[in-house]
Amino acid sequence: MGLILITFIAYQMAGGDSTQLWNPLFEADVRGSLQVFGIIFIVILVTLIVSSVLM
């Protein structure tokens, strides 16, 4: 699940569609806040994946 979310966030950061209401990055500025929050989400998801592998 984490890999799918990372792929989806990277797609949005590259300019993909982020206009769905259910999306946590809804209406984020592609050149500004989306890049910052996208990186934060990716770091959190990678941390969760690594910690689950190490368990």
Break the chain into its structural domains and give their ranges. Answer: 2-54
Among 9-13, 19-23, 40-44, where is mean pLDDT lowest?
Answer: 19-23
Which of helix, strand or coil describes residue 8? helix
> Mean pLDDT, to the nearest integer, of 16-45?
81
Predicted TM-score (pTM) of the model is 0.79
pLDDT at position 40: 93
For the chain, the DSSP string reads -HHHHHHHHHHHHTT-----TT-TTTT--TTTHHHHHHHHHHHHHHHHHHHHHH-
Percent of the chain scoring above 90 in pLDDT: 38
pLDDT at position 51: 96
